[in-house]
Structure 1
Amino acid sequence: MSHSHGHGCDGDHDHDETPEMGVQYSLYSKIDVDNLECLNESEDGAGKTVFKPWEERLNLEKYVESDVDEELLFNIPFTGNVKLKGVLVIGGDNGAHPSKMRLFKNRPHMTFDDVALAPEQEFELHADDTGTLEYSTAVVKFSSVNHLTIHFPNNFGSEKTRIYYIGLRGEFSTAYRHGVTICSYETRPNVADHKIESINPVTHEIQ
């Protein structure tokens, strides 16, 4: 009767990993939230609430639910360039968790008419209510992302899809705005460069 239960090691990851994971999943703070779009959300603005700090991932008070069918489409603009390494999804129970995820890179304002296009990557999802399953992206394809579109085409059988949390892991770099700094060099010409005295004045003689 010497069964080993292994308390405290397997499955007790939350306490040890939370600080580190909070840093890794900080890309939510680099989203241009004002311009984030969620199509087919049942409540306007609800889609923005699922991008939140890692520590709040299990807060079930805020969520987005699909409206007329099970599809949801997120258009996510960033405030710079992102190297996306992983995505994590916490969804609803009773079949409301999305069962597939399709990722598109740098295609702003996609609609459901556009999702027939081939995505950069797609995943078959597993129901996850604790935020322990990460889907690793092909980093080569997602090394310079300024806009990410996530399409959830279906779920595990419910009429509506519900999502509580979407975590994005990766690296962020500030976008360089070419042209603005270049123009500033020419704004103030140096008067000394223009030899005004060498210009021959035109004399008008009144006859």
Structure 2
Amino acid sequence: MQGTLTEFIDKKQIECLNQSDKHTFTSIFGPEDASKQYLESDVDEQIILVVPFHQVVKLHSIKITGPKENAPSYIKTFINRPVTLSFDEAETIDAIESIDLTPLYSGSADDSTVTATVQLRFVKYQSVNSVTIFVGQNLGKQDTTVINKIVFYGSPVEVTKSLTELKKDGHEH
């Protein structure tokens, strides 16, 4: 069963490169009513966001919401990176997936914000400790990129019992 993974995000360990001092990542994983808060890039449209989880998860999809002109149009995903990528690395190395969000967006009633739900290649995201999202461009070719909300969907990986625990449960033959 797929559900939101917000409760599994280690919010104290999140890293974000090129975020504005005024609009940081802290609110984009919060409750729905945090609509006036958002993440905005600082000196250009690119953002690198590293999101670690408290436990290993299986990622199924990602939902990204942003303003029509400044929402990300193109992202790359990386998983379980031991160190944070530089922008040059994010642009040049092979990603788990490179995703054009533009055709996936649907508008809000007032058309000021758009939301894209990305169905990930589930087989590539079976054992995820952290996910890195590189935002390369935004929809309106604006100077900065804005993200109102990111939601990860999937499930925690169940820890299987060790052989000694199976023996204690009486399942030994």
**Residue 153 (structure 1) aligns with:** 136
More strand by share: 2
Which among 32, 37, 57 is matched to residue 15 of structure 2? 37
User: For residues 97-144 of structure 1, what are the alpha-carbon distances to aligned partners after superposition, in whole Å with 9 as ceiling and x for unaligned?
Assistant: 110011101114222132121100121113445475311111111000
Distance 1:44 1:77, change over 3 A: farther
**Residue 168 (structure 2) aligns with:** none
CA distance in 2, matches of 1:149, 1:124: 16
The yes-or-no answer on 1:112 pairing with 2:87 is: yes
The yes-or-no answer on 1:97 pairing with 2:75 is: no
Q: CA deviation at 1:77?
A: 0.8
Which among 99, 103, 106 is matched to residue 123 of structure 1? 99
Higher relative contact order (CA closer than 8 Å, sequence separation 6+): 2
Letter in 1 for 2:95: P
CA distance in 1, matches of 2:159, 2:25: 25
| 1:1-207 to 2 correspondences below 5 Å | 24-25=3-4, 27-43=5-21, 46-53=24-31, 56=32, 59-93=34-68, 95-108=69-82, 109-115=84-90, 116-126=92-102, 127-128=105-106, 130=108, 133-156=116-139, 157-173=141-157
CA distance in 2, matches of 1:44, 1:37: 16
Root mean square deviation, CA, Å: 2.5
**Residue 7 (structure 1) aligns with:** none
Structure showing greater radius of gyration is 1
CA distance in 2, matches of 1:151, 1:133: 16
TM-score, normalising length from structure 2? 0.78
* Unaligned 5+ runs, structure 1: 1-19, 179-207
TM-score, normalising length from structure 1? 0.66
Is the 1:87–1:166 Cα contact (8 Å) retained in structure 2?
Answer: yes
Q: Secondary structure at the match of 1:153?
A: strand
Letter in 2 for 1:123: I
Identity %: 30
Q: Secondary structure at the match of 2:143?
A: coil
